[in-house]
Copies of this chain bind each other. A is one copy, B any other.
Amino acid sequence: MSTEIDKFDSVKKIFTAYLENKGLRKTPERFAILEEIYLRDDHFDVEELYISMKNKKYQVSRATVYNTLDVLVECDLVVKHQFGRNQAQFEKSYGRRQHDHLICTDCHKVTEFCDPRVQTIQSLVGEMLHFNVMHHSLIFYGSCTNKNCEHRANFQARSQE
């Protein structure tokens, strides 16, 4: 649908403006990586992204993937997570509403949820401790009690959306 294309267009513009503003080069590799990330709808790690680029027309090196992800995180087009393992996970962030994560300790799948009260706590704690809180990470670790419950169906659907 056209809204998706419009959205990616905005993303490209933001990235272009950021690169120009910082005096960084607009290389095809950087835009290829951006596109690959915005075609995906799941959480991914560096290796997964690298492999899917390898399997397509774009040949990029791991070093470039790491470098570009850093740039994309800096300009807020991608968010980096450490979900408790020794491997960073990433997800696109433009046009996505603020959300947090629930990790299944059985199957390691990631579910998202929103709760505006987290923002309230963030503001209050920041004020109380004289901290300028820029962002947060809230993760609930747990498991689904029933193997065929609604939740399990939900996140299957989401991860392919």
Residue positions of A touching B, CB distance < 8 A: 80, 82-86, 88, 102, 104-105, 111, 113, 115, 117-118, 120-122, 124-126, 128-146, 149-151, 154
Contact = CB atoms under 8 A, between A and B. Distances in A.
Contact of A141 (B104, B129, B136): B136
A99 to B, nearest CB: 11
B137 A136 contact: no
A113 B129 CA distance: 9
Report how many copies the assembly holds: 2
A131 B115 contact: no
Given A82-B84, A115-B125, A130 B142 contact: no
B111 A115 contact: no
- List the 6 closest A-B pairs by CB distance, nearest first: A133-B142, A82-B82, A130-B151, A133-B140, A138-B138, A137-B139
A129 B143 contact: no
Contacts of A126: 140, 142
A142 B122 CA distance: 11
Contact of A102 (B133, B138, B146, B154): B133
Contacts of A145: 130, 132
Given A82-B83, A121-B118, A135 B131 contact: no
B150 A142 contact: no
